[in-house]
């Protein structure tokens, strides 16, 4: 068992105040650790949880929106305990693994609404194929194949294959799945690794109440004393493995954290919660010495995708009362294999970026607002365009697909997760050919690695964040659990030395 540093309590720095960083801080504080500092680069905590009020008094979520699953979901549990769930339950009535309901209107390119029964038949078939992949029931031949090719082969062999309309709706399902998975294309996404992700029971789309996800963050924030969280504090470099002589501060801390503004903090333990996207861009300069090879490999090999939302606010609702979403079915959409293949090595897709938009959904508590979803390289491209241009394109699509009188929007708002220098995308996906468990475990391993010859000071740099959870990556509950996991490593390390929160030493 490790001993406490001579001059006092362990100094712990947490890099990032997303839900994983806040969960780590709250766990440490509630276990009696008093020297905890959270450094956040942005001017607000929350990271990829960003609740805003751009259209009046009701909230809009630019990032996370739903709680995925109920049973065994600590975020659902927390929301329930604090009365933060939406009153209306989940609204998913169709059997497709997406937020689609029977009240969604599907339109084809020629402006005709598709019969809901026909759409449902294809969506249900698609859902069955996806369940097989999630439940690890795929034929071994798909182990090393893409999700796109698995879906195509199964569809080709099905009774639906003879129907042109079914083919087009199937393409829409693939596009929608691509958005859920945050990848550029399902042809670049591994079919054989999907089963590692665990979908919790109790509905995939549980809504948070009127306070939005921010209300959940507030639960953690309230548990931290003033001064623990420092915003506008980007960390530039983490020097680890410092020997006693190289440390200029008293107490011989093994880690030094250098901030962009020149401040230096010495620490016994640093928990890094920056997103995989941030690490992909910065890990080679952020750590001194550089990260071990297996960690760099994991950062490089795992995928970090882009998902963007486009909010359109209108003066008044122009869609029917019973319409829950307007979905766009192309003759040949970007998830059509032929279209995908011909787009490789060609920049032509940039002119047709809007074809990646799945459709426009209603937004809770905003009767006049629609939310469009787009993913992958097209989303990245869109983030570089003016909001006005994006709004015009969306209105053109809505007019031509529905044939309705669609007014110009009052306001357009895009999320820009890829452009955010401290996030660089939406969430993790597993590219074709990548061994997810191996890479995620390598990413999560603390430094110095256990295989290191001499570890005089273990747990110098620990890694949390959504990307480091093998079963629940991509989600807020996954991120939360990784923060708690890394806090627990430290708590365990000092378990018989620290005072408990009531001042007594734990036995
Ligand atoms: C559009 C979108 C929709 C989503 N929808 C859902 C959903 O419905 N349900 C769901 O469960 N999940 C959803 N997610 C995913 C969910 O938001 C994330 O999995 C989760 O919030 C990640 O939390 P985190 O703490 O791991 O990372 P982050 O939230 O990214 O936190 C990391 C923090 O580190 C900070 N940071 C980075 N670099 C530095 C540095 N050098 N110095 C200091 N600070 C730094 C960042 O600013 C950030 O605040 C969605 C995400 C997006 C983008």
Per-residue pLDDT tens digits for 464-494: 999 999 999 999 999 999 999 999 999 999 9
pLDDT of residue 453: 57
Structural domain count, the chain = 2
Phi, psi values for residue 108, rounded to 5°: -95, 175
391 and 295 both lie in a single domain: no
Q: Which of 357, 381, 414 is the last residue of a domain?
A: 414
pLDDT of residue 93: 39
CATH code of the domain containing 213: 3.50.50.60
The whole-number average pLDDT for the span 432-459 is 89
Same domain, 183 and 119: yes
Q: Which helix (H) or strand (E) holds 150?
A: helix 147-156
Atom of ligand 1 nearest to the CA of 75: 11
**Any domain includes 378:** yes
Ligand 1 lined by 184 (C-beta under 6 Å): no
pLDDT value at residue 300: 98
Residue 396 and residue 472 in one domain: no
List, in order, residues 6 or more apart from 67 with CB less than 8 Å away.
Answer: 73, 75, 76, 79, 85, 206, 207, 208, 476, 477
Q: Is residue 57 part of a domain?
A: no
pLDDT above 90 (res 266): yes
The span from the first CA to the last CA of the chain, in angstroms, equals: 13
Joined tokens for residue 56:
């009046």
Q: 331-361 pLDDT, tens per residue? A: 999 999 999 998 888 888 999 999 999 999 9
Q: Is residue 135 a part of any domain in this protein?
A: yes
Domain presence at residue 438: yes
Cβ of 283 closer than 6 Å to ligand 1, yes or no, is no
What are the CA-CA distances from residue 156 to residues 149, 150, 163 (Å)?
10, 10, 11
> Where residue 3 falls among pLDDT bands split at 50, 70, 90?
very low
Who contacts 150 (Cβ-Cβ below 8 Å, separation ≥6)? 129, 133, 138, 142, 191
- The whole domain housing 406 covers 91-201+307-414
176 — pLDDT class (breaks 50, 70, 90): very high
**Report for 1-10, 101-110, 486-495: range of highest mean pLDDT:** 486-495
pLDDT for 504 equals 52
Instruction: Please work out, in degrees rounded to the nearest 5, the angle formed at the alpha carbon of residue 260 by the alpha carbons of 258 and 263.
Output: 50
Rounded CA gap, 379 and 404, in Å? 26
In a domain? residue 71 = no
For 273-332, write each residue's pLDDT tens digit.
Answer: 999 999 999 999 999 999 999 999 999 999 999 999 999 999 999 999 999 999 999 999
* pLDDT for the residue numbered 1: 46
Average pLDDT taken over every residue of the chain: 92
The answer on 251 and 329 residing in a single domain is no
104 part of a folded domain: yes
Give pLDDT tens digits for 410-430.
999 999 999 999 999 999 999
What pLDDT is stored for residue 251 in this prediction? 56
φ and ψ at 105, to 5 degrees?
-95, 125
Q: From the alpha carbon of 22, which atom of ligand 1 is closest?
A: 25
Both tokens assigned to 436:
């997810």
Q: Taking phi first (over 0 means left), then psi (-120 to 50 degrees means alpha), and beta for anything else, what does residue 116 get?
A: alpha
Our mutation pick for probing the ligand 1 site, out of 22, 38, 274, 477, counting the most ligand atoms within 8 A of Cβ, is 274
What is the model's pLDDT at position 347?
87
pLDDT of the residue at 91: 42
| Ligand 1 proximity of 129 Cβ (cutoff 6 Å) | no
């Amino acid at each position: 068992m490790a001993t406490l540093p001579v001059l006092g309590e362990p100094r712990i720095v947490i890099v990032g105040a997303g839900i994983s960083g806040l969960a780590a801080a709250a766990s440490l504080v509630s276990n009696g650790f008093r020297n905890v500092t959270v450094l956040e680069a942005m001017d607000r905590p929350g990271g990829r949880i960003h609740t805003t009020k751009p259209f009046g008094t009701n909230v809009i979520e630019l990032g996370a929106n739903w709680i995925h699953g109920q049973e065994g979901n600590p975020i659902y549990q927390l929301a329930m305990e604090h009365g933060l769930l939406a009153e209306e339950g989940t609204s998913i009535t169709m059997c497709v693994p997406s937020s689609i309901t029977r009240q969604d209107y599907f339109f084809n390119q020629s402006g005709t609404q598709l019969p809901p029964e026909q759409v449902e038949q294809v969506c249900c078939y698609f859902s069955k194929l996806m369940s097989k992949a999630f439940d690890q029931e795929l034929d071994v031949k798909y182990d090393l194949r893409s999700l796109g090719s698995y879906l195509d082969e199964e569809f080709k062999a099905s009774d639906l294959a003879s129907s042109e309309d079914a083919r087009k709706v199937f393409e829409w399902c693939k596009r929608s799945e691509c958005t859920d998975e945050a990848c550029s294309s399902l042809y670049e996404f591994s079919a054989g690794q999907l089963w590692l992700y665990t979908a919790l029971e109790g509905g995939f789309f549980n809504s948070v109440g009127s306070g939005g996800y921010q209300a959940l963050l507030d639960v953690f924030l309230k548990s931290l004393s003033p001064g623990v969280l420092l915003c506008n504090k980007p960390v530039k470099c983490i020097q680890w493995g410092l020997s006693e002589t190289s440390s200029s501060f008293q107490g011989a801390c093994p880690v030094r954290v250098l901030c962009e503004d020149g401040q230096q903090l010495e620490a016994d333990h640093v928990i890094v919660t920056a997103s995989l996207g941030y690490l992909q861009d910065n890990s080679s300069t952020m750590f001194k010495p550089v990260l071990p090879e297996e960690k760099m490999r994991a950062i490089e090999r795992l995928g970090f995708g882009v998902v963007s939302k486009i909010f359109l606010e209108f003066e008044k609702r122009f869609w029917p009362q019973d319409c829950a979403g307007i979905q766009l079915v192309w003759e040949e959409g970007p998830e059509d294999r032929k279209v995908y293949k011909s787009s490789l090595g060609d920049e032509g897709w940039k002119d047709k970026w809007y074809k990646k938009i799945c459709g426009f959904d209603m937004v809770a508590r905003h009767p006049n607002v629609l939310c469009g979803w787009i993913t992958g390289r097209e989303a990245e491209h869109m983030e570089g365009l003016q909001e006005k241009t994006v709004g015009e394109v969306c209105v053109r699509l809505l007019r031509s697909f529905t044939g309705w009188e669609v007014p110009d929007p009052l306001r357009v708002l895009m999320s820009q997760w890829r452009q955010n220098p401290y996030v660089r995308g939406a969430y993790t996906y597993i590219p074709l050919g990548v061994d997810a468990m191996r890479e995620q475990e390598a990413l999560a391993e603390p430094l110095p690695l256990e295989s290191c010859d001499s570890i005089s000071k273990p747990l110098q740099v620990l890694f949390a964040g959504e990307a480091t959870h093998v079963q629940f990556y991509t989600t807020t509950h996954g991120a939360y659990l990784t923060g708690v996991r890394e806090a627990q490593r430290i708590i365990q390390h000092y378990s018989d030395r620290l005072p408990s929160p009531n001042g007594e030493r734990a036995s």
